[in-house]
Amino acid sequence: MADEHALIQCLPAHLREEAMASAQRVRLNPGDMVFRAGDGCRGLPMVLSGSVRVQMLGASGHGIVLYRMGADDLCTLSIGCLMAGRGYRAEAHVEEPTEALLLPSVVFDQLMAQSGEFRQRVMASYGRRLDDLMLLVEEVAFGRMDQRLTGWLRAHAVGRPAAVTHQALAVELGTAREVISRLLKEMERQGQVRLARGKVEYLER
Amino acid sequence: MADEHALIQCLPAHLREEAMASAQRVRLNPGDMVFRAGDGCRGLPMVLSGSVRVQMLGASGHGIVLYRMGADDLCTLSIGCLMAGRGYRAEAHVEEPTEALLLPSVVFDQLMAQSGEFRQRVMASYGRRLDDLMLLVEEVAFGRMDQRLTGWLRAHAVGRPAAVTHQALAVELGTAREVISRLLKEMERQGQVRLARGKVEYLER
DNA sequence: GAGGCTCAGTGATAAAGTCACATTGGTTAT
DNA sequence: ATAACCAATGTGACTTTATCACTGAGCCTC
């Protein structure tokens, strides 16, 4: 049971103590929202364990999942909000019971100044996120929906059925619920998938 | 004629001198490519003046413009590549005569450690880029092509015709050339636009 | 066992993407 | 100047996605 974030563990003892002393420990439950679009940012969240989904809401009411934060991730989005002093553009939903630290921005800056390893990890984390988003842009712009859906199912619904509604899948891939319903129905006809209310199982061949 | 990047100017004198001493000055011309997909990263580029377009190539051969770098921007993408030690995923095309500095990554890290203002600006720049990409995802996922096209024209082709081909517009918006051709033709029929080979002018009403 | 939920299915139509060519305008070589 | 060439644009036919407006199905509660 890691009690500290990898980013904290990598710090020399005196900085680590200071970080832990000023950080606020947060416990979140599935369904909670960490922040909503427009919210101000009150510190830098670092996820210790669990999973948080970050998504955007389009004008049409549709949404799309941008990325997820898991153990040892930090919320790169928040850094931008802290620096620019504007609100979040996305919203974050807790998916699994999650523990997190909320680090005051002053302390964050101090750690950035004083620990090379901390800097390194933060920048790397930022790079990864940028990369994720670039891949997402490419997928959304050029990917075919049936292949994106199959990709998701292969990653999440092999072996045992995944507990997910068509609506949730639509948000996951940034499309409309009807599109998912039709694609799944077709895949079912072809025996690639087994469907039940709120469940989808992908059948490997 | 600013001789230094805003990020350099904000540094205290001794750091500034060190930065300028170790940075390599680069002059680029329209058509040059700063980096291609897969290239390794040899330092952190900072744009002094000019304009560089960063875009991705999809599997289908289509591309999409992710963002542009202009005066006083730094290439956030490169930071990720430097930190993670992997190649670029996108490619960068010079659009206008451009001057840039190439800062060794060791020096970059040193500046991050020693100047709060530098840190602040770098992180803010990162935040902006992240934000740009999130907006792009939303637009690509939910925006209507005719409205996105109109938006581009309003920003670039009012008053005098913009020198741009349908193909270039397609890459700009991440779609196929035929789609742009048809939309423009329709707008021409409705008198919203004047067309010529390699030129588009938007007619405000 | 009757409502009242949320979840899923579907027809009709519009928007966007794909493929395969036809045309056109401008440049270059003879 | 004329032919030849090439990049840019136009278009038809067809597929895939998105949108709108419903209908039907499963499940829970009273």
* Residues 6+ positions from B61 with CB-CB distance below 8 Å: none
State which residue of chain A sits closest to B175, comparing Cα positions. Answer: A141
Domain that holds residue B65: 6-141
- DSSP letter (8 states) at residue B23: P
Find the mean pLDDT for residues A45-63: 92
Let me know whether A19 and A55 are in one domain. yes
Q: What is the mean pLDDT of chain A?
A: 94
Let me know whether B29 and B48 are in one domain. yes
Residue B1 pLDDT > 60: no
In a domain, B99, yes or no: yes
CA distance B200 to B160: 9
Indicate the range of A81-85, A123-127, A128-132, B22-26 predicted with least confidence. A81-85
Residue B53 pLDDT > 60: yes
B48, two tokens:
């002094």
Looking at chain A, the whole-number percentage of residues with pLDDT higher than 90 is 89
The residue with tokens 């517009």 is B169
Residue A73 pLDDT > 80: yes
B170, two tokens:
């397609």
Chain A closest-CA separation from residue B37 CA (Å): 12
The residue with tokens 């439950």 is A29
**B195 CB-to-strand D distance under 7 Å:** yes
Let me know whether A136 and A156 are in one domain. no
Find the mean pLDDT for residues B124-135: 94
In a domain, B75, yes or no: yes
CB pairs under 8 A between A and B: 128
Q: Which residues pair with B65 in a beta bridge?
A: B55
Q: What is the reported pLDDT for A33?
A: 93
State which residue of chain B sits closest to A85, comparing Cα positions. Answer: B124
Nucleotide C2 C1' to residue A118 CA (A): 62
Indicate the range of A43-52, A157-166, B67-76, B77-86 predicted with least confidence. B77-86
R_g of chain B, CA atoms, integer Å: 19
In a domain, A1, yes or no: no
Let me know whether A118 and A192 are in one domain. no
Find the mean pLDDT for residues A15-23: 95
Let me know whether A62 and A100 are in one domain. yes
Q: What is the reported pLDDT for A5?
A: 85
State which residue of chain A sits closest to B121, comparing Cα positions. Answer: A83
- Per-residue confidence at B2, pLDDT binned at 50, 70, 90? low
Q: Give the domain-ending residue among A141, A160, A191.
A: A141
Q: What is the reported pLDDT for A88?
A: 94
**B15 CB-to-strand D distance under 7 Å:** no
Let me know whether A64 and A124 are in one domain. yes
In a domain, B70, yes or no: yes
State which residue of chain A sits closest to B142, comparing Cα positions. Answer: A58
Let me know whether A123 and A177 are in one domain. no
Let me know whether A195 and A108 are in one domain. no
CA distance A46 to A71: 8
Residue B75: other Cβ atoms inside 10 A: 26
In a domain, B1, yes or no: no
Let me know whether B72 and B101 are in one domain. yes
In a domain, B84, yes or no: yes
Let me know whether B130 and B54 are in one domain. yes
Chain B closest-CA separation from residue A186 CA (Å): 23
In a domain, A191, yes or no: yes
Nucleotide D13 C1' to residue B179 CA (A): 15
Chain B closest-CA separation from residue A184 CA (Å): 20
Nucleotides of C under 7 A from a protein CB: 6-12, 15-20, 25-26
Find the mean pLDDT for residues B50-58: 94
R_g of chain A, CA atoms, integer Å: 19
Let me know whether B12 and B35 are in one domain. yes
Nucleotide C11 C1' to residue A179 CA (A): 14
Identify all chain B residues contacting A138, using CB atoms and an 8 Å cutoff. 56, 58, 64
Residue B61 pLDDT > 90: no
Let me know whether B113 and B193 are in one domain. no
Strand D proximity: list residues 100-129 of B with CB under 7 Å: none
For chain B, the domain total comes to 2
Q: What is the reported pLDDT for A94?
A: 95
Q: Assess contact for A187 and A141: CB atoms under 8 A.
A: no
Nucleotide D23 C1' to residue A178 CA (A): 14
CA distance A29 to A32: 6
Find the mean pLDDT for residues B109-123: 95
Reference B34, options B2, B78, B83; nearest CA is B78
- Per-residue confidence at A162, pLDDT binned at 50, 70, 90? very high
The CATH number covering residue A76 comes to 2.60.120.10
Three-state secondary-structure class, residue B103: strand
Residue A3 pLDDT > 60: yes
Q: Assess contact for B122 and B80: CB atoms under 8 A.
A: no
Nucleotides of D under 7 A from a protein CB: 7-13, 16-21, 26-27
Q: Which residues pair with A102 in a beta bridge?
A: A24, A45
Q: Assess contact for B204 and B150: CB atoms under 8 A.
A: no
In a domain, A66, yes or no: yes
- Phi/psi of residue B75, nearest 5 degrees: -85, 90
Residue A118 pLDDT > 90: yes
Question: CB contact, 8 Å: B89 with chain A?
Answer: yes
Using CA atoms, how far residue A186 sits from A82, A167, A181, B76, B112, in Å, is 46, 17, 9, 43, 54
The pLDDT tens digits of the residues spanning A180-203 come to 999 999 999 999 999 999 999 999
